[in-house]
Structure 1
Amino acid sequence: MTEFDEIDLALLRLLAEDATQSAGALGREVGLSQPAAWRRIKRLTDHGVIAGRRLDLDREALGFGVTVFLGVKLATKGRISLDDFERAVSAIPEVQTVEHVLGLYDYRLRVVARDISDFERVLRRRIMTMPGVGDVEANVLLSEERRPGPI
């Protein structure tokens, strides 16, 4: 599905802002009836344009005050498969995202922790002990000015 009209794009923008809106509310915003808005949303979902809806939690309010981006270079690519590494690192609850990247590092991880000592525990006991992990570079998030949103 590559053809989007203005109404499709408007629905996607509204859903990106607040995915909890009902089809009726969305329809009113774009000039459609509730059933027509629902059919368009279903079509966008069926074609994979809408891949899911997620809840955006406030990490600090939940006690996770530190976010660290880790660059991970695998030491022995031949001895551990990328799938094995991805599966193992994805099982660590503090690891929020796992991105396979091109560049100096093989992976970029987003890790949350309660504080720096909690992050050190995760790094030393969970990440650095994984087979195949070589060089690691940590960057502590100071502030986040823009979150991923609509394209």
Structure 2
Amino acid sequence: QRIAVILAAIALTGFIYVFTHYTRTGLAFRAIAQDERTALTFGMDSDHIAALSMGFGSALAAAAAVVVLPLGTIAVEGGYDVLLNALAVCIVGGLGSTVGILVASVLIGYAQTITANYLEPHWMMLVSLIAIAIVLCIKPSGIFGHQKELEERI
């Protein structure tokens, strides 16, 4: 079961990368995210792209739920741990950096596993919060994020 989850995660990550880098819609997603005003001057419909993006994200969430469901139960109130981990991975890796997000997910996952093995399992979420705090203090753009792009967006 866990191997199937890992393979599905790798396949979904590859699909997202190919979709956002080699399809017209994926390039439109990236263009709107990077600079909406410039994308609008090129004739992109930001409302349409936003709706497609919402649908794409919902489809990914549904695919993740289907893959993870055999490992245990899914409840509405059970998503806070996943949300905190996803937020930590995005902040630590750097928004817009696929490699950074992959590296951050491995680092945070290993840190949480070590914490659960040598301390108590309920301290695992503290690892994510500490990682967020350290990265925001040292390099707010993330490990693989670009400071120049962050300054341009602000």
One fold, TM greater than 0.5?
Answer: no
Indicate the structure with greater helix content: 2
Q: Computing the radius of gyration over CA atoms, which structure comes out larger, 1 or 2? A: 1
TM-score by length of 2: 0.23
Q: Which protein, 1 or 2, shows the higher relative CO under an 8 Å CA cutoff with sep ≥ 6? A: 1
**Which structure: greater strand fraction?**
1
